[in-house]
Amino acid sequence: MKAINAEYHQCLKAGHGQEQDGRKYTYQSDREQEIMDKISELLKLPELQIDLIGLWVWIRGNTKPQKEVLKGQGCRWHSGRQCWYWKPIGLGHSRANPGSLEELALKYGVQGFKSKAPRGQSLAHA
């Protein structure tokens, strides 16, 4: 895991200062680590689809049984997009970027993750 984290940070550092769509990427190791830690934490919960879109983490799937856990982990419900989200401290509001998750993914890029089904169940049967 340490090797993966080191490689991830190295890739991010390589993008420092690059500009896309009028926005300049600035590598901040503390923020990047905070995002990685949150995704790792969320992957421990069963039956979730987790998407990293830009710097925001969007959580979909079988979230209802995890509602209180998600709240406890600092996630919030987005009524317009009908899913949970988490963002690093200090980032702006989602109202600044109207549109669907798919539109946001096209604009900012997306990396998806799936958590596992509970023991004794496969995701195909969940």
Q: Where are the domains of the chain?
A: 2-117
User: Structure pTM?
Assistant: 0.74
Residue in 47, 41, 35, 44 with CA at minimum distance from that of residue 111: 35
Q: Which residues of 104-114 are buried (b: 16+ CB within 10 A; e: fewer)?
A: bbeebeeeeee
Alpha helices in 43-120 (DSSP H): 67-72, 101-108
Report the pLDDT averaged over residues 21-40: 76
pLDDT at residue 125 above 50?
no
Q: At residue 75, what is the residue type?
A: C
pLDDT at residue 17 above 60?
no
CA distances 69 to 13, 61, 82, 96, 98, Å, are 32, 14, 17, 27, 27
Report the pLDDT averaged over residues 1-6: 63
CB atoms near residue 10 (< 10 Å): 9
Q: What is the mean pLDDT of the chain?
A: 80
The better pLDDT of the pair 1, 58 is held by 58
The rounded percent of the chain whose pLDDT value lies above 70 is 68
pLDDT at residue 84 above 80?
yes
Could you tell me how far CA 60 lies from the centroid of its own chain? 10
Longest Cα separation, the chain? 48
